[in-house]
Amino acid sequence: MVSTPYGAVRGRYESGVAVFRGIPYAAPPYGPRRFRPPEPPEPWDGARDAGAFGPTPPKPPYSEAFAQYLSDPVVPGDDCLNLNVWTPEPGPGARLPVMVWVHGGALTRGSSGVPVYDGRSFARDGVVLVSVNYRLGVEGYGYFPDAPANAGLRDQLAALKWVHDSIDAFGGDPDRITLCGQSAGAISIGALLAAPQAQGLVRRAVLQSGPPEAAERDKVRRMVRRMATRLKIPATAAAFAEVDRELLLRTQAEVGRLSSPVVGGPAFGIVVDGDLVPRDPMAALTEGGAAAGVDLMTGWTRDEYRLWLVPGGLLERLDRLGAVALAGAMARCHAGAEVPRGYRALHPEAGTAEIVGQMVTDHLLRVPLHRLADARPGSTYVYEFAWPSSLPDLGACHALELGFVFDTGDVPESRKLAGEGAPQELADEMHGAWLRFVADGDPGWQAWDDSHPVRVFGDGDTHTAHGPRDAELALWAAAVTPPESTPASAPADGSPTRSTELRSVVRRLRLPGAVRRH
């Protein structure tokens, strides 16, 4: 039993590790609190049972095509702003390093209860692991005229403050907190590192397959307006708060069905709000000196794009489209023709889908993460995960590294993406690197400098390569065109006119429903 600022919680010992699940860090975000910033939970008397995961935030299910690879359990209930703690030594004074995990899922799916994120291995090895739930989709990232933006990010900040104030009682050191997240979780961490309200709360950060960025407010506003049109209500938080949750989720899924990392489209995202996010997070971290004393580790998987393209057969469709798919990728990435020509020259054996996928991966991930590392030499470590899944066509896809980082390759949910035969020695190496970074800021390889050292996991023996992506990334420096501005004849919903090439590719892809709904 451990005391928190709001009451005592009773956990369980599991294989020698103390586990506390479903601890509320904020009040249920419903009723008058819906679409509002998080508020402290009501204190409770006695010991609150913390043996089971708490409710998960409302979210639509993955489509059948993606559900075969990704798990996303649902726990019903309103008290969804909760967190979990795994610790080897509950009680004050132990001063163990702390890792706070922020899950991914495009800010619309995911939860702290995904079995791949089980914190037992980190606790077994001397780290207090905390995983967090936060509001998703329109309830967490809708942009309204009558409510503060970024409610889901505000939830994460509230959880981080709870950890800073409470983790000593669980054996953790509040001065050695590492924020760690993947995909949308990494993007969230970039925003938190740049947020003035979070300064001093974080010692280190790990950004896996997600750069610091802010979405265009108009892009997020279009999602809200299109949902409002379907629901026949005003595009206000007050009106959305009156809508049944299930209807809201179905409408959100319908409106976002054409969005994907490859073809773009309206989507939810963190926006500059003048408050929690006062400026673009990348600019704040690379030019504004934000989080100057925070050590960083960041990286990607070799074939990120394959999780976006393989489910539903999009990989084969792009190969058939050929030049049209390349034109669409150029429009998506605001790139000139020199970029795909350069990729063709560097990878003459690659098919169209691979060229498109690597272009989009570099545009979305590697280019901005290189920029981040270049701005913070000496305190940044970069990795690449290259081990290919044993499942057909997935390669070293987005999210595949998670079972290795958490050393949870034995759970069925990890095998859904990795297949059978995932090497334990690779998990030992990756998990060990994350442990070392969380403990003392040095994962075990050369920090970033002008030689661009990248630690490569899963491509033969683990090794450090210097500048392995420099040739591709150099193509972007001189060949990227500015995004199109919104013309006066833009559609009535405020969406900017897309290029002819991108509209053509969206039509000709004929995305199956399974992919659209992801």
- Asked if 265 contacts 258 with a C-beta cutoff of 8 angstroms, the reply is yes
79 burial via Cβ count (<10 Å: 0-12, 13-18, 19+): middle
Which residue from 403, 459, 463, 465 is spatially nearest to 431, judged by alpha carbons?
Answer: 403
- In whole angstroms, give the CA distance from residue 392 to residue 62: 20
Domains of the chain (ranges; CATH) run 2-517 (3.40.50.1820)
pLDDT band at 256 (very low <50, low <70, confident <90, very high): confident
Give me the catalytic one of 139, 304, 384, 413: 304
Element (H, E) at 185: helix 184-194
What are the pLDDT digits (tens) for 316-357? 888 888 888 888 888 889 899 999 999 999 999 999 999 999
- One-letter amino acid at 370 equals H
**How far, rounded to the nearest angstrom, does the alpha carbon of residue 202 sit from its chain's CA centroid?**
18
Indicate yes or no: pTM above 0.85: yes
**Number of Cβ atoms within 10 Å of the Cβ of 323:** 10
Look at residue 229 and give its three-state secondary structure. helix
> Residue 487 has what pLDDT?
31
> Residue 147 has what pLDDT?
97
Is the model's pLDDT at 185 over the cut of 60?
yes
- In whole angstroms, give the CA distance from residue 314 to residue 283: 34
**If you average pLDDT over residues 128-143, what whole number do you get?**
98
DSSP letter at 34 equals T
Give me the catalytic one of 183, 188, 259, 389: 183
Q: Catalytic: 398?
A: yes
512 burial via Cβ count (<10 Å: 0-12, 13-18, 19+): middle
Give me the catalytic one of 103, 370, 398, 452: 398
Which residue from 34, 15, 47 is spatially nearest to 23, judged by alpha carbons?
Answer: 47
Element (H, E) at 308: helix 306-309
